[in-house]
Amino acid sequence: MRARRMAGLVVVLAIVVGLGAGGGAQAAPLAALADAEVQARVDALLAGLSLEEKIGQLNQAGALPFPGSPKIEDVVSTGGAGSVLWLNDTKKFNELQKIAVEQSPSKIPLLFGLDVIHGYRTIFPVPLAMASSWDPDVPERAQTVAAREARAAGIHWTFGPMVDIARDARWGRIVEGAGEDPFLGAAMAAAQVRGFQGPTFGAEDRLVACAKHFAGYGASDGGRDYDPVYLPETQLRNVYLPPFQAAVKAGVGTFMGAYMDLNNVPASGNSFLLRDVLKGEWGFQGFVVSDARAVANLVTQGFARDGRDAAYRALHAGLDMDMASNTYPQHLAGLVADGTLKAAEIDDAVRRILTIKVRMGLFEHPYTDESLLAKVVASPEHNKEARWAAQRSMVLLRNEGKTLPLSKDLENVAVIGPLADSQDATDGSWLVFGHTSNAVTVLQGIKAKLPNARVEHAPGPEIRREFPSFFEAFMPGPKKAPQTPEEAEAAFQQAVATARAADTVVMVLGESANMAGEAASRASLDLPGRQQELLEAVVALEKPVVLVLLNGRPLAVAWAAEHVPAILEAWEPGSAGGHAVADILFGDVNPGGKLPVTFPRKTGQTPIYYARNLTHSPEGRPMYSQRYWDGAVAPLYPFGFGLSYTTFSIADLKVSAPQVKLGEEVTVTADVANTGSVAGDEVVQLYIHQKAGRDSRPMRELKGFERVTLRPGEKRTVAFRLGPDELRYWSTSAGAWVQDAEAFDVWVGADSTATLSASFTVVP
Ligand code: BGC
């Protein structure tokens, strides 16, 4: 053992010395290393580690000074951590790394992880917004910039992309994902992995990505964060898993387990998910980290008897790294000593972590140049990218009488609402620790666009959560006392008076950043606070009113959809968001985003999504169509919906063959033309319905989309291929993936209610 250990260390030292510790242009690009060479290095490292050192690699230590937690320097110097999270300080990264590399027994460098969700210094639209672009280039380019900035700060590993499908807008974390659809979600997941990690794993300006939260987290009962999830295998495999599998196919380095119970087995101790599906069927070679404290929480959740049982069940189920619960360091050695866990199980987990460390070049580049970040974030390109991403992510929901675009000759504009000048709502949910905002608000964006106009602002009554977020404890700065009812009333009157004195009113309403995200579920999807009342009071003034929504989830804005002539869904658009809103409001940019999630009319319609199955009493038949006696069943805005300042026609739908054999492809084509007078983007969407089969299938499923830019009068043919990957599904009846020889309907159009249709049949 001793000899093997020495041999391992000698190999590691040779590698580090040979390539120059701390960087240097001569370092081989790690991705270029053949797998066999990576494995040889990992074998050598592993052979040199004691059991304690191995267990150290499986621990991710939290750097937040929680009461009673050991000093992070002590954990690192004794070899007690393979990774550190919740730190965002380049100097401190280097200090800890020096301790790891020079003082810890194994000398293995630390992997620094942090949540870089939609930007590091330059903030991009929230992921739900980026999915609204229906353009995978948007998240790919955004996460490329995020990775470049974060890596320059010394971060190696981001806990993103979050690829949870969410069909219930009450769930606060809907903001972090790509919405309700597995096909769109898979495209956005793969794009984000490509953006974070780059074309070759281990590039010096990229991050290791982490697909989370595996799996089913978005389907929590009642939309309540962390609540149990019950998903039959057909839903899990057909709807919730495809974005995760897409991340694996895109080469994602790591996965994160979810918190909640999935069918009564917590995701962090779920060997079906981790061993059978992820590491078995999908052949995932990276490692799996728990969610924060999730291993210890197996006890809290009523699954494991105690910490020892929790450590056993998580590791045995395939969870490789313990995030911040200190359960693995406390119990794994004892579990190996008494034979409960096999040493090979520990080795497999350590091997996975070391493989990532070797492949990403951590041994060659353990340190970060402390002057790099300032140079990287100074790039004006990054701001341009953020503005472009925000422009492409916004969705025009209503535009009666061509209210938009507004004229740049306006002289007297009121910009009203609690979010109009809010950097917090503009940046959006989940920024990195210690972020100082430089967001351009909507008010600032409009002022910049109309330098000679009178632009007045009044926020109206403040909005705030009824119950504060657990995370607010971590926010810097003094906490503001709530407005008194009198102060709120005065602010209300002031806002109405400001609107009255203007010729045109832009209302900026929605949710503050802490109203969506983790631990931010809601029981109502109405505009919070007195915003609805304010909107009605301003509309009653009978001026041209435009509503800009800043929010991280669909809101039930049925009144606005009937009474406000123009509505722009701007989401939480990031640091250049105010400019992007103004670019669209004043016609410099024609909006082309589409909803990645259905908007309900009323909260009670949730969960709501387009890809439902038919029933014995299909909607549309007069006697049967009404599912609720107190309101419509149809959503306010369907999945895939979004308007433009121009008009499009989609016609001439063709299917390459009326019949194809099982396993063969059909090609579906349609012509899209810009029939209006300005250039614009249309997202051409293809939906299918399998008309009968071993199982019932959804009445529509998205299976293709393309965002095209067309000049006035320009026409383009868009083509989609439908092959076995698109036509197969997980069948409850068969207990397997199947493709049925059956008839299919196809629709191509501008949203999920498209009417242009054709059909084809798959024959044996
Ligand atoms: C969240 C994860 C996050 C982790 C680390 C948890 O509370 O659920 O999404 O990556 O914290 O910050």
Report residue 311: phi and psi, to 5°: -60, -45
Nearest CA owner, ligand 1 atom 2: 291
Look at residues 459, 707, 461 and name the one whose alpha carbon lies nearest to residue 592: 707
- Please tell me the predicted confidence (pLDDT) of residue 27: 38
Q: What is the per-residue pLDDT across 162-181, written as a single tens digit (0 to 9) for each?
A: 999 999 999 999 999 999 99
Angle made by CA atoms 655, 656, 657, in degrees to the nearest 5: 95
Mean pLDDT on 666-685? 98
Pocket test for ligand 1, best of 323, 433, 469 (most atoms within 8 A of CB): 323
- Please tell me the predicted confidence (pLDDT) of residue 621: 63
Residue 68's pLDDT band, with cuts at 50, 70 and 90, is confident
Q: Which atom of ligand 1 is nearest to the CA of 159?
A: 10
Mean pLDDT on 570-588? 98
Q: Which atom of ligand 1 is nearest to the CA of 518?
A: 8
Distance, in Å, from the CA atom of 311 to the CA atom of 333, rounded to the nearest integer, reads 10
Look at residues 518, 517, 516, 537 and name the one whose alpha carbon lies nearest to residue 528: 516
Other CB atoms within a 10 A radius of the CB of residue 339 amount to 8
In whole numbers, what is the pLDDT of the chain averaged over residues?
A: 94
Q: What is the per-residue pLDDT across 325-373, written as a single tens digit (0 to 9) for each?
A: 999 999 999 999 999 999 999 999 999 999 999 999 999 999 999 999 9
Distance 190 CA to ligand 1 centre (A): 20
Residue 284 burial (10 A CB sphere; 0-12, 13-18, 19+): buried
Pocket test for ligand 1, best of 164, 518, 521 (most atoms within 8 A of CB): 518
Distance 672 CA to ligand 1 centre (A): 42
Look at residues 583, 514, 512, 576 and name the one whose alpha carbon lies nearest to residue 550: 512
Which 8-state DSSP code applies to residue 173?
Answer: G
Nearest CA owner, ligand 1 atom 6: 292
Report helix, strand or coil for 423: helix
* Token pair listed for 729: 């599904």
Distance 432 CA to ligand 1 centre (A): 12
- Please tell me the predicted confidence (pLDDT) of residue 476: 67
Comparing 106 with 66, the larger pLDDT belongs to 106
Q: In what order do the strands lie in the sheet with 757-763?
A: 659-661, 757-763, 743-749, 680-690, 701-710
Checking phi first, is residue 549 left (phi over 0); if not, alpha (psi -120 to 50) or beta? beta
Distance 595 CA to ligand 1 centre (A): 26
Q: Which atom of ligand 1 is nearest to the CA of 259?
A: 8
- Please tell me the predicted confidence (pLDDT) of residue 31: 53
Distance 203 CA to ligand 1 centre (A): 25
Q: Which atom of ligand 1 is nearest to the CA of 114?
A: 12
- Please tell me the predicted confidence (pLDDT) of residue 34: 72
Nearest CA owner, ligand 1 atom 10: 159
> Among 426-430, 477-481, 629-633, whose mean pLDDT is lowest?
477-481
Distance, in Å, from the CA atom of 285 to the CA atom of 253, rounded to the nearest integer, reads 8
Q: Mind giving me the DSSP string for 577-608?
A: HHHHHHHHHTTSS------SSPBPSSGGG-S-
* Tokens 């387990």 found at: 257
Distance 162 CA to ligand 1 centre (A): 10
Report residue 419: phi and psi, to 5°: -105, -5
Distance, in Å, from the CA atom of 113 to the CA atom of 94, rounded to the nearest integer, reads 14
- Please tell me the predicted confidence (pLDDT) of residue 668: 98
Which 8-state DSSP code applies to residue 214?
Answer: E
291 is catalytic: yes
Residue 433's pLDDT band, with cuts at 50, 70 and 90, is confident
Q: Which atom of ligand 1 is nearest to the CA of 212?
A: 9
Report helix, strand or coil for 706: strand
Pocket test for ligand 1, best of 64, 66, 159 (most atoms within 8 A of CB): 159
Nearest CA owner, ligand 1 atom 4: 292
- Please tell me the predicted confidence (pLDDT) of residue 33: 65
Residues 6+ apart with CB under 8 A from 225: 171, 172, 173, 518, 519, 520, 521
Q: What is the per-residue pLDDT across 309-321, written as a single tens digit (0 to 9) for each?
A: 999 999 999 999 9
β-strand pairing of 736-738 with 659-661: unpaired
- Please tell me the predicted confidence (pLDDT) of residue 28: 42
Distance 469 CA to ligand 1 centre (A): 14
Report helix, strand or coil for 343: helix
Report residue 685: phi and psi, to 5°: -120, 140
Amino acid letter for position 154: G
* Token pair listed for 2: 């001793």
Distance 292 CA to ligand 1 centre (A): 6
Distance, in Å, from the CA atom of 60 to the CA atom of 408, rounded to the nearest integer, reads 54
> Would you say 160 and 208 are in contact if contact means Cβ atoms under 8 Å apart?
no
Pocket test for ligand 1, best of 66, 88, 111, 115 (most atoms within 8 A of CB): 115
Distance, in Å, from the CA atom of 280 to the CA atom of 286, rounded to the nearest integer, reads 12
- Please tell me the predicted confidence (pLDDT) of residue 541: 98
Bond preceding residue 591 cis, omega within 30 of 0: no
Residues 6+ apart with CB under 8 A from 586: 405, 406, 407, 408, 449, 450
Ligand 1 site residues (CB inside 6 A) read 115, 159, 212, 291-292, 518
Distance 291 CA to ligand 1 centre (A): 6
Distance 386 CA to ligand 1 centre (A): 24
* Tokens 């698109």 found at: 726
Q: What is the per-residue pLDDT across 186-245, written as a single tens digit (0 to 9) for each?
A: 999 999 999 999 998 999 999 999 999 999 999 999 999 999 999 999 999 999 999 999
- For the chain, what percent of residues have pLDDT higher than 70? 95
Distance 79 CA to ligand 1 centre (A): 24
Report helix, strand or coil for 83: strand
The one catalytic residue among 135, 291, 427, 681: 291
Residue 587's pLDDT band, with cuts at 50, 70 and 90, is very high
Comparing 316 with 10, the larger pLDDT belongs to 316
- Please tell me the predicted confidence (pLDDT) of residue 622: 58
